[in-house]
Chains A and B, each alone.
Chain A
Amino acid sequence: MALKEQVLVDQDYKYGFRDETLNYAFKSRKGVDHDIVEQISQMKGEPQWMSDFRHRSLDIFFSKPMPAWADNELLGQIDFDDIYYYMRASDVEGRSWEDVPADIKRTFDRLGVPQAERAFLGGVTAQYDSEVVYHSIRKDLEAKGVLFSDMGVGLREHEDIVRQHFATVIPPADNKFSALNSAVWSGGSFIWVPPGVHVDIPLQAYFRINSESMGQFERTLIIAEPGSFVHYIEGCTAPTFSSNSLHSAVVELIAKEGAHIRYTTIQNWYKNVYNLVTKRALAEKNAHVEWVDGNIGSKLTMKYPSVYLMGEGARGDVLSIAYASEGQHQDAGSKMVHAAPNTTSLITSKSVSKGGGRTTYRGLVKVYEGCDGVKSNVRCDALLMDPESRSDTYPTMEVDAKNVRIEHEATVSKVGEEQLFYVMSRGLSEVEATTMIVNGFFEPFVKELPMEYAVELNRLIALEMEGSVG
């Protein structure tokens, strides 16, 4: 989209509407304990092993302290007793657009979900608060044996596959928030790609929090069998609320021998959503996992998509951008764990801080003993828009092998007066010029996105610049 059109768009947070009249089919009381967990599990009619898993996870959640290394000022504001852990907007999951209740349909119409699907998408899952309300998959993918459904449906219909892989990449005890998710999870996507199948159109999910003080805890599991390929895209939005909401997802990817998974996220939560997400992938021999991760919204994001390179020749890529304005802290990064020889990783992180916003890059590259021939490259670029904003970089390297090549490069730059003047001297206003410079900074990320998402992201940045450049 042309810059001119972008900046002309209304500058309100586009997703800031809320359906006031929505009647929930079920809403838990606030707070979390074993009764709530039992209630969730029973409503879903789950097998006993999953119910046991939830209760075990809740005990782990209670016993684990908050991470000591994090932004404790913001984290400390979360009141776990003031959150709804489970809500269901509708009693039926719609398989076709017509089945979806009218008020929810209206919401997703405004987000452009059915339009996007009509345009090019292979499948769409739309999750409204806790439950998936709309799901579809193209017939040709179904015929190839690709499984793409809500996680709850996946558990019901493909219990064997789920049980074999669920929580094998991220155990509940991994961290406090993965434990919480394991106890109260609802929704999310389940994807299984048969051996050798190439899914040539992106599978897609929309997540939306529509209720105040809501917790959303989706659980996504993607299994790519040997030699297969899949690209999954998720978008996240929430309306404007006065009190905080919590989004705490767990995403597990398993790329078997020679498989390739690309996972793209555009996170645009409203600015009082806590976004505390655990994302991790296992890459077996010659497998390739890519995380393309964009963080624009939320109050505090803590997210470090990881790849455990378990088999020789495996490759992990993380390309992430973060944008933080006033009151926001994007604490993002990546972990690359090289547990096999001749594995490769590439981390590219780009962040923009503006109006007192804060970005943090936190990363780990670990190479185990005996893993010769490992190559890893980490590059972090931060752009500061004004003196009030802040950017920190915490790169950690733990290398216990010889014959490895590890590179790290970090830059911090400022939008310069000369650069702005140059662009403005060509007829662009300060807002337009700043937008152009920031979009240019994010370009390596944007060019990896499908067209619709690239347009959307450029537009979001234009709106952010519009909001505060004087």
Chain B
Amino acid sequence: MPIPLLEIRDLHVAVGEKEIIRGIDLTIERGTVHALMGPNGSGKSTLSLALMGHPKYTVTIGDMLFEGRSILDMKTEERSLAGMFLCFQYPSAVPGVSVANFLRNTLMARHKGQAPLKPARFKQLLEESIAKLKMDPSVLGRYVNDGFSGGEKKRLEILQALVLQPTLSILDETDSGLDIDALRIIAQGIEAQRGPERAILLITHYQRVLNYVKPDVVHVMLHGRIVKQGGFELAQELEARGYDPLIKQLVEA
């Protein structure tokens, strides 16, 4: 058996005294796409932030292994450099730092001790990625997320993933608040992150993005636990009937 790309074992996460994730097991193999679904407040975003090592979220019990190695003692930037990437639901603005400059710096952080990308190749990579996401090239001169619309922020998150090419992309509701055309473009950007050595964890409320990015496994999260797993049909079932029957079924059990 190959070592899974990500392995989460009996994970408990608290914010202050309050436990939000209450025992999760989740294994993601290379070459797969996993969807994590669930209603608001079920702990999906907490999981994504805990995976990147947000200082507010404390792992109280359990472990997270990336490429077979525990990441609990790794700093946020070390997790990023190891190949993990989070598409933020609410990305921060960095006024005064242009998108081009930001991307150059984040890319160079990945080339420690190696020759960084040649300027011409970097420019080409940016142009291709921008075209793929149908963004206006002027975005490169704008300050990161400063005065961006919701849709522009989502595209910028995906643009970063296309430039940095992480091994594991964690997408936190990257599909929310988008119209149908924007959703299709974003979905193409997510699809571009597939690869035999890579994997995607797609966190979403709705099934609609899964019509474009077909998941191999669907997990349903409720009250800090993964309560059900299945294939694409599970997502379709949730879309048709909502989360209520599942909640009811669990309460009765």
A residues neighboring B (CB under 8 Å)? 2-4, 416-419, 421-430, 432-433, 436-437, 439-444
Contact = CB atoms under 8 A, between A and B. Distances in A.
Given A2-B104, A417-B55, A427-B106, A440 B76 contact: no
Contacts of A444: 96
A200 B70 CA distance: 59
A427 B81 CA distance: 5
B97 A428 contact: no
Given A2-B104, A2-B105, A417-B56, A424 B96 contact: no
Contacts of A430: 77
Interface in B65-80: 75-77, 79-80
A428 B112 CA distance: 11
B206 interface: no
Interface string B100-113: 00101110111010
B97 A443 contact: yes
Given A2-B108, A425-B52, A426-B164, A418 B97 contact: no
Contacts of A3: 105, 108
B94 A437 contact: yes
Interface of B: 52, 54-56, 75-77, 79-81, 85-86, 88, 91-97, 102, 104-106, 108-110, 112, 116, 143, 160, 164
A356 B85 CA distance: 35
A39 to B, nearest CB: 50
A401 B164 CA distance: 57
Contact of B91 (A4, A422, A427, A440): A422
Nearest to A2: B108
A419 B102 CA distance: 13
B105 A428 contact: yes
B105 A440 contact: no
Contacts of B76: 421, 424-425
Contact of A440 (B85, B86, B143): B143
Contacts of A441: 95-96
Given A417-B55, A418-B92, A441-B96, A424 B105 contact: no
B157 to A, nearest CB: 10
Contact of A4 (B52, B80, B97, B108): B108
Contacts of B104: 2
A4 B96 contact: no
A441 B116 CA distance: 26
A11 to B, nearest CB: 18
B52 A440 contact: no
B96 A443 contact: yes
Contacts of A425: 52, 76-77, 79-80, 85-86, 88
A436 B94 CA distance: 8
Contacts of A418: 92
Given A417-B55, A419-B92, A440-B96, A427 B110 contact: yes
Contacts of B55: 417, 421
A423 B94 contact: yes
6 contacts: A4-B108, A421-B52, A421-B54, A427-B164, A428-B109, A439-B97
A432 B56 CA distance: 21
A439 B160 CA distance: 21
Given A421-B55, A426-B164, A439-B96, 9 more contacts: A4-B108, A4-B112, A422-B91, A424-B76, A425-B86, A426-B102, A432-B109, A437-B97, A442-B96
